[in-house]
Structure 1
Amino acid sequence: MVDTADIARPYSCHLLEFSVLPGGARLGNIYVAGDADELRECVDGDWEEGADGYLILWYGALLHLWTVQHGAIVAGLDLHPYLRTGDARCDLAVARVLDGSDDEERRETVQEVLMAYAEAERPTASGLPVVARMFDLFDRIDADPADSDALAELDRILDLVEGGDPPASYDGVSVEGLHIDWDAVPVPALHEPVLREGRVSVRWGDASLRHRASHLHHSTPTSEGTDFEHGFTEGGG
């Protein structure tokens, strides 16, 4: 006899996806919950020291909230704008790193700085105070290319970082990690029946929502369902 508790059903739920495709850091982690508080508890419990700054800031990991109604993905929300560091200037630095609005040379310089923290076996996010200051200096140099003080400070920062011992703080600011500001996230209400335990069968309700960088895009057919366990599913490969 089939244990009905093991049967995946088309419940409503939230999926938080943290994934990287493709590449050496290939990842497809899915957090599955029936309400916002439960999702927060699940994610924060796994991210005690914050989200992986290396994957987010350097690899460009997808961080997305998917809304599932009656087993169908009907909406998606990018969660990158809701990442917080504990410092307003560093929050702006996160947004600027992710939007890639600076020219290629400056983007590469910032990425080299962030990589230096990873190579020094420090949390990548701990380099954000330095990056925030670099952005300030970039803007000053744009306003006045002859700003010798800004040019000199930028050179000093890069010398510090390239020396293999990047500073743990800058301008008196330190960052321990990246965390989602859950109070600011507009989590949609779910329609009954809502997943409380067991398994859920998920399919794409609208093919236009499919995100090419999403693990779900590659693992979940449009019409057929993919099963997820309530809680946390680790994927990759």
Structure 2
Amino acid sequence: MMKKSFYDLAFGVAPGGARKDAHYVLASLDEVKIALAEELAEEINLYLLCWYGADLSLHVYQQEELAQSIDLHPFITISIDGYMDITFKGPGEPVGYDFRADDGAGDEKERLSSKMFCGSLGDAVSVSVDWSRIEVPPLTGETVAEDDEDDVVELAEGHLGAYGYQDFEE
């Protein structure tokens, strides 16, 4: 059996107050962009990035060998009406808003972290990813395929994954 190449979009929070260990095993960068946009459209995921310091990485596997890991935090901008843009130095390092100072300050319903957690920002929030600054290598050789149910690959965390979405915390 030929070893497959793929992208692994990994979004996770270590077990604690919150849990997430989502992976998208995909065959093209366009698929990765769509999956990431869907994840970042959910305010609870913005909360996990800003408050919990969730990991968000793109792993590139060439013939099932991890060739490169890219931290996506530095390329994300969260824009919220009435607030400075929020960017990231890395996991757990948001810039533009002090989420730790938010804890216990004022009316809980008015805290930005609470608004994200409850999903109450609606159209006031938008997220962009500056893909022009991310150097993602193209996949080489045969890639995972959506229609091949037997395509099972091993991810760096020791999980076995197949094409598409899986959350190992569910």
**TM-score, length basis structure 1:** 0.54
Corresponding residue to 1:200 among 135, 139, 152: 152
User: Residue in 2 aligned with 1:58?
Assistant: 51
Corresponding residue to 1:184 among 130, 133, 157: 133
Could you tell me whether the CA contact under 8 Å between 1:19 and 1:62 is conserved in 2?
yes
Q: Which runs of 5+ in 1 are unaligned?
A: 1-7, 127-167, 169-173, 205-215, 221-225
Could you tell me whether the CA contact under 8 Å between 2:102 and 2:113 is conserved in 1?
no
Using the TM superposition, give the Cα deviation of residue 82 of structure 1 relative to its aligned residue in structure 2, in angstroms. 0.9
* Bigger helix fraction: 1
**TM-score, length basis structure 2:** 0.73
Count of aligned pairs: 158
Q: Which runs of 5+ in 2 are unaligned?
A: none
Task: Quote the sequence identity (%).
Answer: 23
1:75 aligns with 2:48: no
Post-superposition Cα deviations, 1:66-109, rounded to whole Å, max 9, x if no partner, equal 0111111121110000112248x5145x44994379xxxx7731
User: Residue in 2 aligned with 1:117?
Assistant: 112
Matched residues in 1 for 2:91 and 2:22: separation?
A: 23
Matched residues in 2 for 1:25 and 1:203: separation?
A: 22
What are the within-5 Å matches in structure 2 for residues 1-237 of structure 1?
A: 10-49=3-42, 52-86=45-79, 89-92=84-87, 94-95=88-89, 98-99=92-93, 108-112=100-104, 116-119=111-114, 122-123=115-116, 175-197=124-146, 198=148, 199-204=151-156, 216=157, 220=158, 226-236=159-169
Distance 1:96-1:82 versus aligned 2 partners, 3 A rule: closer
Distance 1:203-1:31 versus aligned 2 partners, 3 A rule: closer
